[in-house]
């Protein structure tokens, strides 16, 4: 970092367009290079940025693998991710290279849980099927049996991953009078379970076979990659619906599409996909799925909060403090 001038301003390179107020504040605080055109940076551009900057601000669309990290220059000290998930960053390689990593947890919890609920309602109530028919001018009026779906009240919801977002989903599900079940690496403290009226399953397969709805809310790690593989999803009852607002790679997307196609699973609500922005073509043909373009945290409030966290993490680090949202290898 340059020591010249009154106060050293870290060189910060941002890989994508961020909300305007965040970019403005970054320009005030740091020697920042913004990406106003918002075109994703390829691997050569990312390597060049790692070589040049003190701080890189990537997003989920940047693959910060070991090769990119190996291109880091002497000054590179911090990868301040804009987003909570860090599966696109080789955290171990970065840590070994002496580069700190931060993320933006907490500020997108409620919005992601809201979107999960929106999908949890949209699929069984067939909202998008109705919308499509209406917009196509194909609605001929009310009939007693048109577009009958299923209620969620009284149904069992199995949440995979009971972190911040999983718990926020559980609170909402409870308010909708659903029975909350969950699978997590560790069981929650009794008072949290009591408050959510949540039932713990140490064995995921055991839980899956009993649920009406399943919501994926865990991070993507080596352990959770294809956690929902074909064999596991076959444990579900045929009327079950899967919701995923976490990461596409947690589900074997092809297997899911095949099971949905033959009616072995009743429906799915997906906000994330294995090879974004590519979507398995089969999913696009199915009426029993709702597909959204990774918009769980897409509110002005959440994205601004994420940007503020990035600013705070960079400033804390630059001032020699421990950044509040440090991520360590698992």
The site for ligand 8YV (CB under 6 A) is made up of: 59-60, 82-85, 108, 296-297
Q: How far is the CB of 234 from ligand 8YV (least distance, A)?
A: 28
State whether the Cα torsion 168-289-152-134 is positive or negative.
Answer: positive
Radius of gyration of the chain (CA): 22
Contact 78, 55 (CB under 8 A): yes
Q: With respect to ligand 8YV, which residue has the nearer C-beta, 60 or 196?
A: 60
Q: How far is the CB of 61 from ligand 8YV (least distance, A)?
A: 7
Helix (H) or strand (E) holding 241: strand 241-244
Contact 31, 56 (CB under 8 A): no
Q: With respect to ligand 8YV, which residue has the nearer C-beta, 195 or 276?
A: 276
State yes or no: is 322 an active-site residue: no
Q: How far is the CB of 274 from ligand 8YV (least distance, A)?
A: 14
Q: With respect to ligand 8YV, which residue has the nearer C-beta, 182 or 273?
A: 273
Q: Which of 9, 294, 308, 326 is catalytic?
A: 294
- Which SS3 state, helix, strand or coil, does residue 160 take? strand
Q: How far is the CB of 53 from ligand 8YV (least distance, A)?
A: 18
Instruction: List the 267-270 sheet strands across, edge first.
Output: 198-200, 179-183, 156-160, 213-216, 241-244, 267-270, 289-291
Q: Which of 247, 249, 274, 303 is catalytic?
A: 247
Q: With respect to ligand 8YV, which residue has the nearer C-beta, 207 or 292?
A: 292
Q: How far is the C-alpha of 244 from the C-alpha of 222, rounded, in Å?
A: 18
- Which SS3 state, helix, strand or coil, does residue 206 take? helix
Q: How far is the CB of 273 from ligand 8YV (least distance, A)?
A: 12
- Which SS3 state, helix, strand or coil, does residue 125 take? helix
State yes or no: is 247 an active-site residue: yes
State yes or no: is 52 an active-site residue: no
Q: Which of 33, 276, 308, 326 is catalytic?
A: 276
Q: With respect to ligand 8YV, which residue has the nearer C-beta, 106 or 130?
A: 106
Burial of 196 per CB tally in 10 Å (0-12, 13-18, 19+): buried
Q: Which residue number has the CB closest to ligand 8YV?
A: 83
Q: With respect to ligand 8YV, which residue has the nearer C-beta, 30 or 82?
A: 82
Q: How far is the CB of 83 from ligand 8YV (least distance, A)?
A: 3
Helix (H) or strand (E) holding 261: helix 253-261
Q: How far is the C-alpha of 31 from the C-alpha of 45, rounded, in Å?
A: 18
Where in the sequence numbering do the catalytic residues fall?
Answer: 247, 276, 294
């Amino acid at each position: 970092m340059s020591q010249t001038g009154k106060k050293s301003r870290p060189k910060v390179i941002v890989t994508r367009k961020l909300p305007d107020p965040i970019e403005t504040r970054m320009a005030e605080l740091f020697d920042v290079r913004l990406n106003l055109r918002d075109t994703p940076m390829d691997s050569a551009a990312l390597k060049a940025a790692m070589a040049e900057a003190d701080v890189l601000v990537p997003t989920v669309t940047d693959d910060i693998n070991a090769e990119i990290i190996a291109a880091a220059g002497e000054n590179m000290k911090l990868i301040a991710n804009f987003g909570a998930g860090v599966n696109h960053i080789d955290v171990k390689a970065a840590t070994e290279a002496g580069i700190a990593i931060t993320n933006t947890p907490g500020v997108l919890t409620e919005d992601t849980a809201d979107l999960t609920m929106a999908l949890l309602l949209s699929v069984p109530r067939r909202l998008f099927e109705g919308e499509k028919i209406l917009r196509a001018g194909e609605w001929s009026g009310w009939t007693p049996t048109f577009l009958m779906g299923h209620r969620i009240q009284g149904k069992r919801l199995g949440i995979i991953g009971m972190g911040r977002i999983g718990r926020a989903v559980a609170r909402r599900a409870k308010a909708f009078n659903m029975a909350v079940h969950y699978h997590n690496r560790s069981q929650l403290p009794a008072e949290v379970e009591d408050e959510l009226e949540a039932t713990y399953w140490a064995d995921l397969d055991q839980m899956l076979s009993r649920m009406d709805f399943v919501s994926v809310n865990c991070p993507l790690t080596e352990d959770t990659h294809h956690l929902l593989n074909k064999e596991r999803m076959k444990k579900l009852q045929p009327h079950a619906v899967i919701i995923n607002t976490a990461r596409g790679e947690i589900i074997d997307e092809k297997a899911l599409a095949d099971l949905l196609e033959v009616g072995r699973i009743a429906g799915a609500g997906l906000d994330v996909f294995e090879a974004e922005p590519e979507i398995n073509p089969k999913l696009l043909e199915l009426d029993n799925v709702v597909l959204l373009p990774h918009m769980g945290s897409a509110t002005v409030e959440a994205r601004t909060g994420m940007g503020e966290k990035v600013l705070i993490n960079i400033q804390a680090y630059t001032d020699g403090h421990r950044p509040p949202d440090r991520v360590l290898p698992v």
